[in-house]
Amino acid sequence: MASQKTLTEQIRSQLSILLPNQVARVLDRLPDPKLALLQEVRLRVGRPVALRFADGEWFLSSSGALLAHPPDNAALSKAELEMVLDRASRSSLYAYEEELRRGYLTLPGGHRLGLVGRAVLQGESLVTQRDLEGANLRVAREIVGCSRPLLASLMVGELPATTLLLSPPGAGKTTLLRDLVRAFSTGESVPQQTGGYQVGLCDERSEVAGLVEGIPQFDVGPRTDILDGCPKREGIPLLLRAMGPQVIACDEIGGADDVEALQEAARAGVSVFATAHARDLVQLRQRPALRSLIEERYFDRYIVLSCRRGVGTIENITDAEGHPLVWTMR
């Protein structure tokens, strides 16, 4: 596992070659512990650059200082945003029509550049975007081994427990999901096994594996098959038919189509790891499509995360009926 210093050096290098020069210089000056807290760099034409850290948001002044409030004289230019887009797309932005329709580019290192501008519609459907005016560079981090304290709690007999990770945005669900995929794929989840599980990863938003030109930017294990950029309602049945997984993993379930796809996986006897936006089970029940999964006891385990003691704080682990399980941080 790479040291924290190595990880921050990699992030500094990966981001600096994309960002405007004045932002890259700020990143170069940031001490490693502060850079380790960086979550987003927001670029908006005509407005100051914003850097969001786990402990707060700061704005970049024209002199390169970080300020608590937006300065009046430090607007990002259209040319600077276009330079970032040119670098991210390797000088061929409009070759990425599908990515523009989805609203983001996945970058080397697994980072994601969200994009907004003028929508181009066909009927009521979004076809692509033009005249881009803003970008959000979301910093991705891989924390190999972060799931280890939980693994013993995520088995039901000899089978992986169908598990839902819950938290508000930015609290570490995707990072934990990624490491669960890796652990079950390698066999780390059940050390007495001679091998791991066949995992099918439906990576609709390209955030779990961070696939770039067919190459995953993160370690998702040797037995993981990745379907990138495909909606779950189509991707999960495809993985079931084509790859014969023992576990299906997917990020950010929410709508009725997602629920139907998960139910198809259950009918095939496949365990599922998934995430959803909710503070806790009480808030999850307020989402009509997902409430049915709770009532049907679809999930064997619920893991609730927060940022209370930093990103990825595990608040509790419960069984299908919401009873807390005992687990030990190692």
pLDDT at 53: 92
Q: Where does the chain show beta strands of DSSP type E? A: 38-44, 50-53, 56-60, 66-67, 104-106, 112-122, 125-138, 155-156, 159-160, 163-167, 199-203, 211-212, 215-216, 224-228, 247-250, 271-277, 301-306, 313-319
Question: What are 186-218's pLDDT values in tens digits?
Answer: 998 776 555 799 999 999 988 899 888 889 999
Residue 168 has pLDDT above 50, yes or no: yes
Question: What are 249-308's pLDDT values in tens digits?
Answer: 999 999 999 999 999 999 999 999 999 999 999 999 999 889 999 999 999 999 999 988
Domains belonging to the chain, first-starting first, are 4-138 (3.30.450), 148-319 (3.40.50.300)
Round to whole Å and give the CA distance between 22 and 215.
31
Percent of the chain scoring above 70 in pLDDT: 95
> Minimal CA–CA distance to 233: which of 207, 210, 263?
263
> Minimal CA–CA distance to 209: which of 175, 237, 256, 186?
175
Residue 52 has pLDDT above 90, yes or no: yes
pLDDT at 203: 95
Residue 2 has pLDDT above 50, yes or no: no
